[in-house]
Structure 1
Amino acid sequence: MLWRFSLCNILLIYLLFVSFLFFSFGIYFVMNDIVYFVEYELFIINSSQLIMTMLFDWMSLIFMGFVLFISSLIIYYSSEYMLGDMFINRFIILVLMFIFSMMFMIISPNLISILLGWDGLGLVSYCLVIYYQNVKSFNAGMITALSNRVGDSMLLMSIAWMFSYGSWNYFMYIDFFSFNFDVMIIGLFIVIAAMTKSAQIPFSPWLPAAMAAPTPVSSLVHSSTLVTAGVYLLIRFNPLYVNSSLSMYLMFISLLTMLMSGFCANFEFDLSKIIALSTLSQLGLMMSILSFGYVYLAYFHLLTHALFKALLFMCSGVIIHSFKDCQDIRYLGNLFCQMPLTCMCFVISSLCLCGMPFLSGFYSKDLILEIFSMNNINLFSYLLFYFSTGLTVSYSIRLIYYLLVSDFSFYSYHYINDEGWFMLSGMFVMVFFSVFGGSLLGWILFPTPLFIIIPFYYKLMVIFVCLMGGWFGYLINKFSLLDMLYNFLLNSICMYFGMMWFMPYITIKFTYFSLMFGLKINSNFDYGWFELVGGQGLSASLNYYSYLNQSVQNNIFNLFFIILSFWFILIILF
């Protein structure tokens, strides 16, 4: 057991050192406006070179620093969370492969290498989701893998469409694309690929289903790796879709995703799924601001969201671990008396998610809302955007109420405390960065201070929406316990909103019919007509004629004698 702790400690020190190195270089690059484009020749065969290209700019370096920093703390956190696991070494190796796939995708300016990192994320995420070998994990892993394969196929088709450009290093000439039909098709493929990875509608069901993975994996996936890959891809390919019909399509889909995830989180009782749906809501927020072309602002919120969302999942993991793997928030309650340190971290991370002033989430989220108010957008989208933001505050207040304020409803004999010091120490580090990380990143990424002047009522709109969302969350908790009619309506609404607008059923049915259609095609064509006319039929015909030719060759003298005899008979008769 000590060896496992020492392994996690060594990984913690190494990853922290490398993350600090990357982050320091990122600050130096952003201050001096430096970009390094590295090409390494792997081998050459008959004048054909295979070159590995890497892009080191401030965006990739700072993001890699964040990924490694959060990953180091999560591996350290896992040393205690996964303490009784017999295969913890396998788990840590899978997590490291997951991290390296994400880093490979981050530094790739080439579509081929992006596809390698992209596929590595999908494959390792499947292995991590099915880590607990049961039926629920297998189903969740299959939904995750099949949803992500759609994005993989889109990337493959975009590689095929870029074949005529002479190179797949999009970074070199993406700003000089002429908007012809080919570029529109490539942009469409890239947007669909990003939607699958970042779980936008209609690819949303895999994100809550992926909660079947261990909680440290969920903390890593939802903060800085898997789901952020789609946002990072759109940040890199932003000139392909901005100021086009694709951007309006992306904005509409992201707003619907925010609305759907906010409603579902308000009517969900699974602790992990509520936090997963909050991730979905924040991904919709990043996608919506990306559709307007604000790349650096989306990147800013991507980094701040990674900090407090990792902390939120780490807190939920401690709670689930202490309550004997119980995730139903109706059984929890009054945790401040028994787990004060964990509850403090949980409240801070939830307030960051709500956009509480002067916490990390406030600096990026409030800026996004004010920038959104300045754009030329219709009233419906504006109200939808702010209403979805209010739902974020609503389900956060609801979650805090169920965990910290409501009555304790677990076993009478229990042992719940804050003695997991390995987990708590990692959480305390994340609390510091969740409080101060937003202001620090704001100073680093935006050297010129942003001063937005909008009308007074627009300024107050953010605070008003947050207060209304909190009041709505309070009403849900208060009246759902008293009013029987409301409970009946609540159950009916839960059936619709809690099931993500029935998207899981639609996705499963669509997947089932697609697989059955593929099976029919396979049996009727690949193993049917194509075999008779194609491979097997051609092989049988060749075998038959080869046998016939061989029999002729073996009996050639007999044939000559028979033909000669037949010829003499004809001469005698005629």
Structure 2
Amino acid sequence: MIWSIAMNLSSMVFLSLFSFICLLGFLLMIFLDFSYYIEWEIMTLNSSSLEMTLILDWMSMLFLAFVSFISAMVLFYSGGYMVEDNNVDRFFYLVLGFVGSMMFMILSPNLVSILLGWDGLGLVSYVLVIYYQNEKSAGAGMLTALSNRVGDVAILISIALMFDMGGWGFIFYNDKEWMNEVSGLVVLVILAGVTKSAQIPFSAWLPAAMAAPTPVSALVHSSTLVTAGVYLLIRFSPALVSLGQSVLFVLAGLTMFMAGLGANFETDLKKIIALSTLSQLGVMMYILSMGFYKLAFFHLLTHALFKALLFMCAGSVIHSVGGTQDIRAMGGLIYVMPLSISSMNLANLALCGTPFLAGFYSKDLILEVAFSCLLNEICFWLLVVATGLTVCYTFRLIYYTVSGDYNLVSLSCISDDDKIMTWPMISLCLGAVMGGAFLSWLIFPSPLMICLPWWLKLLALMVSLVGGFIGYILNMMVGSYHLISLTNYNMVVFAGSMWFMPFLSTYGVSNFVFKISQYYHQSGDNGWLEYYGAQGAYKSFEVSSEYVQLAQDNSVKIYMVMYVLWLILASVVLF
């Protein structure tokens, strides 16, 4: 235990210092307007050179600073959360490997080197999801690994397609003229980004990954695994042609609507927060598909601050109430855990876009920019309704944790006494309050004027107020709410199960794949391939070797038969 806490503290100090250095580098680069591109050539093959490259610009340095800061807080928090775990040192090594893979991916402007960090994220995330080593964790880990493997294959094929360009440094070919020559490359990169960021139809793995320890969830859902796909598409954003933008636009709109709807029927605390992450990833992809990559990056950073805080507060609650995650078993926790619940509600309000908190500066700007663009009716209302659903499930969560009845057992020792878990939450509270304003001043130094009709200006605020009212009032009327749910059971199951996506991603895909693989196994591996392949060759060699062995037995009968056959053949030839 002493070693784990010492390792925890040293990792936190190192990552905090690294975050401060990256922040200083970001300030220098954004104010002096310069960047570094570092390249080591490893080998050259047919005029295509394979290099090890790093890019240090304002975007990568700022993202590194955020990843390092949040990772430092999560590692410090883990010292209290994982203190009773027998394998806590292994846990810290895995988290550090996870953070290292993300940092390597951020600094790579080369598809080959990106693949190393990309695969590192996939591998370590699988190991962390199965950390508790039970059947549920094994299934969740397999779903996570196989879903992300689709994106890995897309990156591999993209590397093969970029061979024609003479190199894999996509930053030099990142425009429409170059990418039109290999249009399939854009589709593959979008596929990779969509799978890693869990957009429809690859959304099932994100709530399933909640089987990992809560500190891992805080890291994964804020600044590492799920944001890797968004970051990759931000880097490729100049090359996204109109077709790719349209596909991404529709997928992002459906994802944020589906996640917001599902969270209103979910009772697992961690899954509600996971679905809120899915909804916010849809918002990032939505605005990115419209061409505003800086806005997507801005929301990515502000979302990282309050989402890490939200998961830390949820972990503190779960840790104190004995491991239960059902929000119906909670209630009235503000009286026994004032710091954790106040921090959770602060993060929830930042998620809703409450004015002058971190989420307001990015989310309100995204909504106003989207309203000022030419959207069709369906996409417009998807965005509006998804915004209302976000506030609806947020106030539902606030009701169950703050003002609901105390539903825990009578003998419960619940408090905020663990300073190792509360100090990182206080640090992130400051980020959730001031981070949005700080980032808006730096990324957008000159203010933008967005001219909209008054009803569009007020639409985001009114939708948020209506969504919060519905989410709070419906759950106060518990009896009526449950009666409505029972009378519309099929609709509730459909909406609450992410449109049957977990079922389709597991049993649906596996049954289809297993039937095809069984057919090919019977007709291929055990059929024609065996007949003309290994078993057929074995039978042929066996029969031939018997004849050869018979000829080598020095039998007089064999020599007499051979002599007669030779005489007959000679007579036929001569006469």
Give the structure-1-normalised TM-score. Answer: 0.94
Q: Secondary structure of the equivalent of 1:177? A: helix
The structure-2 alpha-carbon separation of the partners of 1:532 and 1:357, relative to structure 1 and needing over 3 Å to count, comes to same
The structure-2 alpha-carbon separation of the partners of 1:543 and 1:103, relative to structure 1 and needing over 3 Å to count, comes to farther
Distance (whole Å) between structure 2 residues aligned to residue 514 and residue 169 of structure 1: 38
Structure 1, gaps ≥5 residues long = none
Specify the code of the residue in structure 2 equivalent to 1:534.
G
The structure-2 alpha-carbon separation of the partners of 1:539 and 1:527, relative to structure 1 and needing over 3 Å to count, comes to same
Indicate conservation of the 8 Å contact 1:480/1:487, yes or no. Answer: no
Indicate conservation of the 8 Å contact 2:48/2:163, yes or no. Answer: no
Residue 386 of structure 1 is matched in structure 2 by 384
1:488 aligns with 2:489: no
Residue 10 of structure 1 is matched in structure 2 by 10
| CA apart distance, 1:278 | 0.3
2:402 aligned to which of 394, 401, 404 = 404
Specify the code of the residue in structure 2 equivalent to 1:37.
Y
Distance (whole Å) between structure 2 residues aligned to residue 537 and residue 353 of structure 1: 65
1:325 aligns with 2:323: yes
Residue 156 of structure 2 is matched in structure 1 by 156
The structure-2 alpha-carbon separation of the partners of 1:54 and 1:557, relative to structure 1 and needing over 3 Å to count, comes to farther
Distance (whole Å) between structure 2 residues aligned to residue 225 and residue 473 of structure 1: 30
**Mean alpha-carbon deviation: is it higher for 214-223 or for 187-196?**
187-196
Specify the code of the residue in structure 2 equivalent to 1:400.
I
Aligned counterparts, 1:252-331, within 5 A: 252-331=250-329
Residue 22 of structure 1 is matched in structure 2 by 22
Aligned counterparts, 1:8-407, within 5 A: 8-42=8-42, 50-175=50-175, 177-178=177-178, 180=180, 183-242=182-241, 244-407=242-405
Indicate conservation of the 8 Å contact 2:195/2:202, yes or no. Answer: yes
Distance (whole Å) between structure 2 residues aligned to residue 378 and residue 12 of structure 1: 47
| CA apart distance, 1:506 | 1.5
Indicate conservation of the 8 Å contact 1:480/1:490, yes or no. Answer: no
Indicate conservation of the 8 Å contact 1:12/1:76, yes or no. Answer: yes
Distance (whole Å) between structure 2 residues aligned to residue 370 and residue 61 of structure 1: 28
Distance (whole Å) between structure 2 residues aligned to residue 47 and residue 245 of structure 1: 31
Q: Secondary structure of the equivalent of 1:481? A: helix
Q: Secondary structure of the equivalent of 2:533? A: helix
Distance (whole Å) between structure 1 residues aligned to residue 556 and residue 541 of structure 2: 24
Residue 495 of structure 2 is matched in structure 1 by 497
Indicate conservation of the 8 Å contact 1:200/1:253, yes or no. Answer: yes
The structure-2 alpha-carbon separation of the partners of 1:571 and 1:326, relative to structure 1 and needing over 3 Å to count, comes to closer
Indicate conservation of the 8 Å contact 1:184/1:240, yes or no. Answer: no
Q: Secondary structure of the equivalent of 2:174? A: helix
Distance (whole Å) between structure 2 residues aligned to residue 552 and residue 4 of structure 1: 75
Distance (whole Å) between structure 2 residues aligned to residue 265 and residue 383 of structure 1: 19
Specify the code of the residue in structure 2 equivalent to 1:286.
M
Distance (whole Å) between structure 1 residues aligned to residue 552 and residue 54 of structure 2: 63
Specify the code of the residue in structure 2 equivalent to 1:185.
G
Residue 531 of structure 2 is matched in structure 1 by 532
| CA apart distance, 1:392 | 0.6
Distance (whole Å) between structure 2 residues aligned to residue 275 and residue 359 of structure 1: 18
Specify the code of the residue in structure 2 equivalent to 1:356.
T
Distance (whole Å) between structure 2 residues aligned to residue 224 and residue 566 of structure 1: 84
| CA apart distance, 1:523 | 4.3
How many residue pairs are counted as aligned between the two chains? 572
| CA apart distance, 1:143 | 1.1
| CA apart distance, 1:216 | 0.3
Distance (whole Å) between structure 2 residues aligned to residue 69 and residue 58 of structure 1: 17
1:289-344, CA deviations, whole angstroms, 9 ceiling, x for partnerless residues?
A: 01101000000000000000000000000000001011111110111110001111
Indicate conservation of the 8 Å contact 2:131/2:212, yes or no. Answer: yes
Indicate conservation of the 8 Å contact 1:268/1:494, yes or no. Answer: no
The structure-2 alpha-carbon separation of the partners of 1:468 and 1:55, relative to structure 1 and needing over 3 Å to count, comes to same
**Mean alpha-carbon deviation: is it higher for 540-549 or for 363-372?**
540-549
Specify the code of the residue in structure 1 equivalent to 2:154.
M
Give the structure-2-normalised TM-score. Answer: 0.94
Distance (whole Å) between structure 2 residues aligned to residue 38 and residue 538 of structure 1: 55
**Mean alpha-carbon deviation: is it higher for 428-437 or for 559-568?**
559-568
Structure 2, gaps ≥5 residues long = none
**Mean alpha-carbon deviation: is it higher for 532-541 or for 464-473?**
532-541
The structure-2 alpha-carbon separation of the partners of 1:552 and 1:18, relative to structure 1 and needing over 3 Å to count, comes to farther
Specify the code of the residue in structure 2 equivalent to 1:123.
L
| CA apart distance, 1:565 | 6.2
Distance (whole Å) between structure 2 residues aligned to residue 346 and residue 257 of structure 1: 24
The structure-2 alpha-carbon separation of the partners of 1:275 and 1:534, relative to structure 1 and needing over 3 Å to count, comes to same
1:245-280, CA deviations, whole angstroms, 9 ceiling, x for partnerless residues?
A: 221221111111111111111111110000000000
Indicate conservation of the 8 Å contact 1:15/1:69, yes or no. Answer: yes
Specify the code of the residue in structure 2 equivalent to 1:470.
G
The structure-2 alpha-carbon separation of the partners of 1:551 and 1:194, relative to structure 1 and needing over 3 Å to count, comes to farther
